[in-house]
Structures are given as structure tokens and as C-alpha cells.
């Protein structure tokens, strides 16, 4: 009775989800989040600071401007630090209240929300959209679908330009776009990001969360019995069933769930929350809003579906302060304080010393031993600085340069050849020296770098 080879489909066929429109407390909260976050995204590149774009990641010049601060690749550790803080905040908030990030702040949610809104504007509500998709092509369908596509594409294009506006000054980018004189890479990235927005928010939607997002897969590891989750109150709701309004459910042997399936219809990922917590749930709370509305109409108390912890559902008291949250929270706090200090204490001028590779030393006519170095200054400050050089660690050593006045402009990287000279009789062999540069126009700015001074060995 050998069974023949059988095709096993690893994935169920994807069904298009038509989320029903919903209104309520949590939806209002999300709309506010969407407006604030997208508002920030589209407005920030236009913000000016001291005559330059306030936030500009200038990749061609390897300088990152953030408000009054300029960061260089040397400050990369700060970005790494920031990413660690971001990851830990995600852990912390996930442990406290589940997938808050997914439901309210994730770009995927935020842009999908806007794209669904545009879809609704052109194609109508859930039922109208389903009907339109089933209907044969007609002038009306073409008009509605075409209008939606036009709105989506325009919005995606503006999004692409804004994204590139963080890397190329946006005030030059927009005129260049409309006069078709945009550079090759700018064009590429505008289209790339625009297309990604269009595809992800217009078509992929919940599939991004279900199949592409790594966070969605491991967020469950941060949950415990005291994590705030979207929960269906099974004890109160079951057995579910329809009943007449105003009739007593308990008399009919029913729970509070009237099985209207609105919670399923509003779900952007198409799950039934009454089956319990699922990987697909992005905690958007649309089902809570829908169910609260139904409970109001049934004159039953709200909260058949609600934000609740496992403990509170079982009748216990939720513990907010517990080892998991305390550890995440305190490590997070330490990292944030440390980051603040690191940014505050950042040295405004940095210097590197490179030895001249051609000659170890040189004997000058006036009886000095000379070593030649190249000093490379990076001025991370918003202001220009004049510098004076000094050398330490070797008796009688002096440093000079051909540059008339050593000045390094704001955000400038400057290479200067310098000579360190020591009277010939005073030195033999190699010595460690320290080249010191200090600002003459502002006290407290002093940087140094160590180098090796070479002289002939005295016999």
C-alpha cells in the first residue's frame, strides 16, 4: 500500500485581504501616530539650521549633519551605539506591551495606512472594493483603479524624493527633478525607494509582516505572562452565537460574543483573534475598536477583546516591575546616559600623524635633524579654528610648517606637512614624541597624536 509521491504545498495560497474600515480609540491613536511620523518624515528635510539643511547625510562628502552637530565616519561608533539603544528599546517596550511598534510606529504600518486610505478614497469601502475586484473591466472600474494607481504612484514618487532628500540637499533636488537634471544615482534611489514604498504599502502589506520581518518572528521571545497583549476574553465570550438585541445571553446559554465576525473583517492581517494570540497579529487593536463598538450597541460592557496580560486574564495582578523589564530598562537607561555623555564629550578636532615614507630623517645645513610628517586634521565643529602646533616628549624639539597660518574650516579635513627639528647633537636613534595642536581662538580645544622621531645613531 505504498502511497505515491505527493506534492506538498508548503505555503497556502495567498488571499487578498480587504480590511474593513474601523473607528475608535485605538484607530484614532494610530491616525495621530501616522500623521506625526509621516509629517516628520516629509517635513524634516526642509528644516534649516544655521543656513544649511538641519538633517543631511552627505554621503559624497562623508559628513552627517544633525541639527548643530556634524558627524564624520570616525564617529561611526555613535551610530552603532544608537542602533543598540534602538534595539533595546524595542525589547523593553515589547516586554511591557507587546508589539506596540508594529501597530503604531512601523513604517510598514504607517505607509500601508496611507495607501489603504487612498484605496478607500477611489474604490470605496470593503464591500465595494470586493465587488469592484470581482466585476468585469468597465469604464468605471478603469477609472477607479486608474485613479488609485495615479494617487499611489504620485505618493510613492514624493516619498522617494523625500528619502533621497536626506542624502542630497532637498532644495536642490526638487528643482533638479522637475528640470530633469537629476544625477544618475539620485534618479536610481528615488525610483528604488519609491517603488519599494509602492510595492510594500500597496501590494505586499501584511505579507511583509508575515514573511519578511525578522522582528515578527522573534518578538515572542520577549513576551511573558505580564506582557500587555491583545486578548479575547474566552471565559466571557464563549460559547459565541447570535441573539436578539436586549435578550439575556446567559438565559440562552451564550457568552458575550455575538459572532458578528467584525473583529476578523477589520483585521489587516486577516486573522481571528478569538483563536488566541497568533504570530500574524501586529497588535493594531482594530479588533478592539470594532468589538467595543458592537458591545456598546449590545449594551454589554466593553473589553470582550482588550489589551490585557495573561496574568490579568487569569484574574491575577499584572506585575510591571519584574526582572525582565527591570534589566531591559536599567541597561537601556545606562546606554542612553552613556550616549549623551559620549556625544557631549566628543572631541571637536581630531588629528592623525603620518610619517613621511621617503626618508627616515634629513640633516639640515644649520645642523639640525629633521623629520617630516603629514598632519591630518578633521574639524567637526561648526566654527573654523586657528591652530598652533607644539611638540612634546623630546628635549629641544621644535615644530614648524610652511603654511602661513594654520586654520581649519568648519567641517573641513586638512592635511598639512610639518617638520620637527632637533639640534643634531641632542638626539640619537628613535624617540617617541607627541605632536600637540591647540586652538588659539578658543580655550580648551587641544588635540595630540603620538609619532616616532628618527635620528642617526651616535657611535
Partner 1 sequence: MMRRDVAILLWASFLAACVATMFFFAMFDPLLLAHDDAPPRWLSDRMTGYTCGFFFFWFIGATASFLTAFLIDARADGRDEV
Residues 6+ positions from 279 with CB-CB distance below 8 Å = 210, 216, 217, 220
Please identify which residue in the block is written with the cell numbers 480587504.
Answer: 18
Residues 6+ positions from 126 with CB-CB distance below 8 Å = 18, 19, 20, 21, 265
Residue whose CB is less far from partner 1, 79 or 334: 79
Among 40, 67, 79, 410, binds partner 1 (CB under 8 A): 79
Residue whose CB is less far from partner 1, 80 or 252: 80
117 binding partner 1? (CB under 8 A):
no
Residue whose CB is less far from partner 1, 60 or 246: 60
Q: What sign does the dihedral 158-162-165-169 (CA atoms) show?
A: positive
Q: Determine whether 165 is exposed, middle or buried from the number of CB atoms within 10 Å of its CB (0-12, 13-18, 19+).
A: buried
The nearest distance, CB 9 to partner 1, in angstroms, is 9
Phi, psi of 427 (to 5 degrees): -140, 145
Residue whose CB is less far from partner 1, 117 or 211: 211
For 320-357, the DSSP string reads SS-HHHHHHHHHHHHHHHHHHHHHHT--SEEEEEEE-S
Near partner 1 in 2-21, by CB under 8 A: 10-11
86 binding partner 1? (CB under 8 A):
no
180 binding partner 1? (CB under 8 A):
no
Residue whose CB is less far from partner 1, 61 or 297: 61
Residue whose CB is less far from partner 1, 215 or 307: 215
Which one of the spans 23-31, 180-188, 304-312, 450-458 is the region binding partner 1 (CB under 8 A)? 180-188
The nearest distance, CB 170 to partner 1, in angstroms, is 17
CB 270 within 8 A of CB 286: no
CA 326 to each of CA 49, 321, 341: distance values in angstroms, whole numbers, following the listed order: 39, 6, 22
Residue whose CB is less far from partner 1, 117 or 185: 185
Residue whose CB is less far from partner 1, 82 or 298: 82
Please identify which residue in the block is written with the cell numbers 446567559.
Answer: 250
Please identify which residue in the block is written with the cell numbers 534611489.
Answer: 189
Closest by Cα among 322, 336, 328 to 82: 336
Provide the CB-side half-sphere exposure for 437 (13 A, CA): 27
The nearest distance, CB 182 to partner 1, in angstroms, is 13
Q: For residues 295 and 313, what is the distance between their CA atoms, to the nearest angstrom?
A: 19
> How many residues belong to the site for partner 1 (CB under 8 A)?
14
The nearest distance, CB 323 to partner 1, in angstroms, is 31
Which one of the spans 57-65, 217-225, 284-292, 375-383 is the region binding partner 1 (CB under 8 A)? 57-65
Q: Edge-to-edge, what's the strand order for the sheet holding 69-71?
A: 55-58, 63-66, 69-71
Cβ-count burial 22-56 (b if 16+ within 10 Å, e if not)? bebebbeebeebbeebbeebeeebeeeeeeebebb
Among 23, 40, 76, 342, binds partner 1 (CB under 8 A): 76
- What is the length of the chain? 459
Among 117, 188, 203, 218, binds partner 1 (CB under 8 A): 188
Among 62, 322, 388, 392, binds partner 1 (CB under 8 A): 62
Near partner 1 in 197-256, by CB under 8 A: 211-212, 214
**Helix/strand/coil percentages in the chain, nearest 5:** 45, 20, 35
60 binding partner 1? (CB under 8 A):
yes
The nearest distance, CB 387 to partner 1, in angstroms, is 23
The nearest distance, CB 239 to partner 1, in angstroms, is 38
Residue whose CB is less far from partner 1, 52 or 61: 61
The nearest distance, CB 178 to partner 1, in angstroms, is 21
Which one of the spans 182-190, 232-240, 365-373, 433-441 is the region binding partner 1 (CB under 8 A)? 182-190
Write out the residues near partner 1 by the rule CB under 8 A: 10-11, 59-60, 62, 73, 76, 79, 183, 185, 188, 211-212, 214
Amino acid at each position: 500500500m505504498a502511497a505515491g509521491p505527493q506534492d506538498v504545498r508548503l505555503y497556502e495560497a495567498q488571499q487578498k485581504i480587504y480590511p474593513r474600515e474601523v473607528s475608535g480609540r485605538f484607530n484614532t491613536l494610530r491616525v495621530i501616530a501616522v500623521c506625526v511620523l509621516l509629517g516628520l518624515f516629509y517635513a524634516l528635510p526642509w528644516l534649516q539650521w544655521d543656513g544649511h539643511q538641519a538633517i543631511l547625510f552627505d554621503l559624497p562628502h562623508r559628513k552627517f549633519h544633525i541639527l548643530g552637530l556634524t558627524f564624520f565616519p570616525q564617529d561611526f561608533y555613535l551610530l552603532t551605539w544608537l542602533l543598540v539603544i534602538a534595539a533595546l528599546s524595542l525589547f523593553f517596550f515589547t516586554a511591557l506591551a507587546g508589539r506596540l511598534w508594529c501597530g503604531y510606529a512601523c513604517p510598514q504600518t504607517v505607509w500601508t495606512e496611507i495607501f489603504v486610505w487612498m484605496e478607500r478614497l477611489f474604490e470605496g469601502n470593503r464591500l465595494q472594493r470586493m465587488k469592484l475586484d470581482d466585476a468585469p473591466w468597465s469604464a468605471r472600474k478603469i477609472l477607479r483603479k486608474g485613479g488609485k494607481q495615479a494617487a499611489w504612484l504620485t505618493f510613492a514618487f514624493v516619498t522617494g524624493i523625500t528619502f533621497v532628500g536626506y542624502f542630497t540637499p532637498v532644495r536642490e533636488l526638487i528643482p533638479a527633478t522637475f528640470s530633469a537634471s537629476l544625477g544618475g544615482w539620485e534618479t536610481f534611489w528615488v525610483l528604488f525607494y519609491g517603488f519599494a514604498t509602492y510595492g510594500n504599502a500597496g501590494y505586499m502589506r501584511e505579507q511583509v509582516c508575515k514573511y519578511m520581518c525578522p522582528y515578527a518572528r522573534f518578538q515572542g521571545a520577549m513576551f511573558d505572562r505580564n506582557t500587555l497583549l491583545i486578548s479575547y476574553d474566552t471565559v466571557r465570550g464563549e460559547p459565541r452565537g447570535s441573539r436578539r438585541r436586549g435578550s439575556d445571553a446567559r438565559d440562552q446559554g451564550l457568552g458575550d460574543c455575538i459572532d458578528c465576525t467584525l473583529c476578523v473583517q477589520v483585521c489587516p492581517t486577516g486573522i481571528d483573534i478569538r483563536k488566541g494570540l497568533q504570530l500574524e497579529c501586529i497588535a493594531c487593536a482594530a479588533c478592539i475598536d470594532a468589538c467595543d463598538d458592537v458591545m456598546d450597541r449590545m449594551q454589554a460592557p466593553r473589553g470582550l477583546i482588550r489589551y490585557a496580560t495573561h496574568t490579568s486574564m487569569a484574574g491575577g495582578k499584572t506585575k510591571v516591575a519584574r526582572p525582565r523589564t527591570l534589566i531591559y530598562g536599567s541597561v537601556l537607561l545606562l546606554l542612553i546616559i552613556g550616549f549623551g555623555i559620549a556625544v557631549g564629550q566628543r572631541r571637536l578636532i581630531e588629528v592623525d600623524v603620518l610619517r613621511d615614507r621617503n626618508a627616515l630623517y634629513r640633516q639640515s645645513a644649520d645642523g639640525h635633524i629633521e623629520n617630516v610628517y603629514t598632519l591630518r586634521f578633521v574639524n567637526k565643529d561648526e566654527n573654523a579654528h586657528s591652530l598652533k602646533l607644539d611638540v612634546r616628549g623630546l628635549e629641544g624639539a621644535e615644530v614648524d610648517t610652511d603654511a602661513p597660518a594654520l586654520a581649519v574650516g568648519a567641517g573641513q579635513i586638512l592635511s598639512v606637512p610639518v617638520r620637527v627639528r632637533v639640534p643634531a647633537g641632542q638626539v640619537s636613534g628613535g624617540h617617541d614624541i607627541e605632536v600637540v595642536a591647540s586652538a588659539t581662538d578658543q580655550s580648551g580645544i587641544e588635540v595630540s597624536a603620538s609619532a616616532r622621531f628618527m635620528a642617526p645613531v651616535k657611535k
